[in-house]
Amino acid sequence: MTATLLDPRLSALDELRWQVGNTPLHRIVHMSPRPGVEVYAKLEWQQFGGSIKARPAYNILWNALASGALQGRRLLDASSGNTGIAYAIFAASADIPVVLCVPENASKERKQILRSLGVELVLTSPDEGTDGAQEVARAMSLAHPEKYHYVDQYSNEASWKAHFENTAPEIWNETRGEITHFVAGLGTTGTFTGTGRGLKKFNPDIELVALQPETALHGLEGWKHLDTARVPKIYDPTIQNRTLLVSTAQSHNMIVRAAKEEGLLLSPSSAANLAGALRVAESLEEGVVVTVLADDASKYSEVLDQLLP
C-alpha cells in the first residue's frame, strides 16, 4: 500500500511539490569585489512559502503524513517564523492543523501571516528565543502525546536532507560545476549542513564557510550564536572549512547597499549571508562563491522603514 493511500492528504501535498525549490541563481554584479571572482545568490523567496524554509518544511510535513503520525493529531513545532509560515501554507492545502511555539518578539508581520493561515500560536519568552520555544513545544508534546506530533525541525533529518537532495544539486548544475565556495549562516543549520554535504559529494574541494552572529545578543532573526545557544542535533561541525562572524550592523549596512546597488530588498539574515559571501570573495583572486538569500524584506517592517529616505 502506498503512502498516499495511507493518508489521502498526501495527494494535496504532492500537487505542490513542483513549487518547492528550483529557485533562480542571481549573479551579484555591482558589489562583487574582484574581477576574477563571481558571486551568486539563490533567490529563495521565489518559491511557494516565500522563503528557503519551504524546502525543509515540505519534507518534514510530507514525512509526518506518510508515517501516519498526523492521524488525529496536530503538527507541532517551534519556529521564529519562516518555517512556520511554510508549514502553514502547505498544511492549509491539505487540511492539517498546525500549532507553533513562536518567540513573542518575532516580527509582527510574521505573526499576522501565521494567524491568517489558521495557525494556533503559542507565544514564548522573547528572552529565550527559539531555544525557549523548543522547550515549550517539547513540554506540550510530552504532556499531550495524543494531541500533538512534535516534528522538531532542529533534530529532524528531513530538514538537512531537503538541501542535500535538492539545494546542492541545483547549485551544482546552475554553476555548471564551477562553484568553489559555499557560504551560509547557521540557524537550524539545515541549509548549511545539507547543502554542504551535498556539494562536497560533487566536489570535496569546495570550501564551506559557515557564518554566525558576532554576539549572543544580535538582530539576525533565525540565526544562532552556537557558543551560547542550544546546538541543533542536525548540525555537523566537521564539514565546514572555516567560520566567519557577521554583526547586525554589517547586515543592516548590506540591506541598504543591496537595495541601492543590486535592486535586492533583503531580510537581515539574507543581507548577513551576502555580507559574508562578499567577504569571502574579497580574499580570493578567482573563484565562484555562492550563498542563499533566505527571504526578502516583505515580512520586516523595520527593514522597509530603514530603506525609506
Query: Which tens digit of pLDDT belongs to each residue from 265-287?
Result: 999 999 999 999 999 999 999 99
Q: Which amino acid is at 211?
A: L
Please report which confidence band the pLDDT of residue 145 belongs to, taking 50, 70 and 90 as the band edges. very high
Same domain, 252 and 138: no
CA-to-CA dists, residue 5 to 1, 2, 91, 219, 241, angstroms: 6, 5, 18, 45, 44
Same domain, 204 and 296: yes
CATH number, domain of 45, equals 3.40.50.1100
Same domain, 181 and 128: no
Same domain, 85 and 12: no
Mean pLDDT of the chain: 92
The reply to whether 167 falls in a domain is yes
The reply to whether 182 falls in a domain is yes
Same domain, 93 and 136: yes
How many independent structural domains does the chain possess?
2
The reply to whether 155 falls in a domain is no
Task: Give 202-253 pLDDT, tens digit per residue.
Answer: 999 999 999 999 888 787 878 888 888 889 999 999 999 999 999 999 999 9
How far apart, in whole angstroms, are the C-alpha atoms of residue 279 and residue 276? 5
The reply to whether 173 falls in a domain is yes
Domain end, chosen from 106, 121, 150, is at 150
Q: Which amino acid is at 299?
A: K
Please report which confidence band the pLDDT of residue 306 belongs to, taking 50, 70 and 90 as the band edges. confident
The reply to whether 289 falls in a domain is yes
pLDDT of res. 40:
98
Domain end, chosen from 119, 150, 181, is at 150
Same domain, 254 and 267: yes
The reply to whether 260 falls in a domain is yes
Instruction: Please state, as a whole number, how many other Cβ atoms lie within 10 Å of the Cβ of residue 228.
Output: 11
Same domain, 97 and 241: no
The reply to whether 217 falls in a domain is yes
pLDDT above 90 covers what percent of the chain? 78
pTM: 0.92
Same domain, 8 and 64: no
Q: Which amino acid is at 262?
A: E
Domain end, chosen from 150, 176, 193, is at 150
Averaged over 162-170, what is the pLDDT?
98
Averaged over 130-145, what is the pLDDT?
95
Please report which confidence band the pLDDT of residue 2 belongs to, taking 50, 70 and 90 as the band edges. very low
Task: Give 30-61 pLDDT, tens digit per residue.
Answer: 998 889 999 999 999 999 989 999 999 999 99
Same domain, 64 and 188: no
61 lies in which domain range?
Answer: 54-150
Same domain, 259 and 128: no
Residue 1 has pLDDT above 60, yes or no: no
Q: Which amino acid is at 136?
A: V
Asked whether the beta carbons of 199 and 168 are under 8 A apart, the reply is: yes
pLDDT of res. 3:
45
Same domain, 167 and 23: yes
Same domain, 94 and 120: yes
